[in-house]
Structure 1
Amino acid sequence: MAESTPGASKTDLKKTFDGYQARRGEFRVLELPELRYLMLDGHGDPNTAPAFTAAVETLYPVAYALKLASKEQLGRDYVVPPLEGLWWASDMDAFTSARDKSQWDWTLLLLVPDWVPTSLAHDTVEHVRTTKRPALIDELRVAPLAEGTCVQTLHVGSFDEETPVLDRLHREILPERGLRPTGTHHEIYLSDMRRVAPERQRTILRQPVAPA
């Protein structure tokens, strides 16, 4: 991950971090280092489950407080990274073909830049706990995610139109390259879902892999 330096302009990790780079129609293999995230787990349809909204409303106050702490204490300012999500279901047909969102499990993520000490992230969580008290703050954690080798591509369009891209990834791209999926389906939301029409939303679809 590209680092900011004291006195430098604000870092935008969407522009500098290789893990946030993807092109539509291109399935790229990349190696990711272990990364740290603010994390919250949940279950159910993201469009209707109160826990999903509560998770978003808990993560962002911590993320913005951490950005401010980095600027004031470390002299390193940055744009809050995009929201990310890990998605799975006990019956994966509910996630892929049937799209039964009520059966989905998820972990929402916001990246902690690598120059921010874990101790500062924990202190920031405690500060937000006492000042803003968002609903799920007691469940929020700062934790590592080690995905290693991954294949990712860019999807442009609504989330419900991801299925053909995922089918191609799993049925064509991975077998052709001698790879198998090993981890959890990972999405990175480059567009602001509140402001961008579904047909224009840009989402990175990532799959951790290993040799078949």
Structure 2
Amino acid sequence: MQTYDVKKARRDLYAPRPGRFDLVDVPEMGFLAVDGHGDPNTSAAYREAVEALYVTSYAVRAVVREALGRVHTVAPLEGLWSAADWTVFRTREKAAWDWTMMIGQPDWVTAATVDEALARDRARQLPALGLVRLERFTEGRSAQVLHVGPYDDEGPVLQRLHEEFLPAHGLVPVGRHHEVYLSDARRTAPARLRTVLRQPVAPAP
């Protein structure tokens, strides 16, 4: 039985070269998602959201294997980030951040699949379980780079993206800043963390 792994199937989106900005076209994809606000380092809501996403993703994988005979690797955690002023990401003013945390799902995962998975999870009484939803999300044309290092060192990279790369290519940011966490921060030294930084773009007016 072959295991589907989105990181291998879409290396263009999940395995960019470190330090180099690239333009990619991101198709519509399915995600489990939970919305929230505030500093991810201190917010209980953030921790609860991530816990609920992982628990549900593993339950979805079990449901799919039993119902369809298909096996997939649980995808990495991702986050959509926004604020009234994007410079708060450069300055790391985390209390001002709005976030949507997500875990990608294969195309064959349906709303009925997720409902069954959530029904299995309810006995665990996770605080954020009722906030988990399945949604389709399309980014389209985007600029991305692989950042290697601590999350708090992303500021200069984002500044280069917004003040150098995008203007040089006649582009402006649209939509929300997107991060894909390829490393497990609980088990990886900060200097070795690998994070895809992605920004949807459009031609400058």
Give the letter aligned to residue 92 of structure 2.
Answer: R
- Report Cα offsets for 1:34-67 as digits up to 9, x if no partner: 1111111111111111111111111111000011
Contact 1:122 1:142 in 2 (8 A): no
- Report Cα offsets for 1:135-169 as digits up to 9, x if no partner: 11111111111111111110000011001111111
Aligned-pair CA distance for 1:118: 3.0
Does residue 183 of structure 1 match 2:183?
Answer: no
Aligned-pair CA distance for 1:76: 1.1
Aligned-pair CA distance for 1:121: 2.1
- Aligned residue in 2 for 1:12: 5
Instruction: Give the % identical residues.
Output: 48
Contact 1:83 1:108 in 2 (8 A): yes
Give the letter aligned to residue 158 of structure 1.
Answer: P
Paired with 1:176 and 1:198, the residues of 2 have a C-alpha distance of: 31
Aligned-pair CA distance for 1:186: 0.2
Contact 1:87 1:186 in 2 (8 A): yes
Aligned-pair CA distance for 1:123: 2.6
Q: More displaced, 143-152 or 115-124? A: 115-124
Paired with 2:77 and 2:189, the residues of 1 have a C-alpha distance of: 17
Aligned-pair CA distance for 1:124: 1.7
- Aligned residue in 2 for 1:109: 102
Aligned-pair CA distance for 1:174: 0.9
- Any unmatched runs of 5+ in structure 1? 1-7
- Aligned residue in 2 for 1:158: 150
Does residue 83 of structure 1 match 2:67?
Answer: no
2:49 to 16, 37, 55: 55
- Aligned residue in 1 for 2:112: 119
- Aligned residue in 1 for 2:31: 37
Q: Secondary structure at the match of 2:71?
A: coil
- Any unmatched runs of 5+ in structure 2? none
Paired with 1:51 and 1:194, the residues of 2 have a C-alpha distance of: 18
Paired with 2:85 and 2:202, the residues of 1 have a C-alpha distance of: 22
Superposition CA RMSD, Å: 1.3
Aligned-pair CA distance for 1:134: 1.2
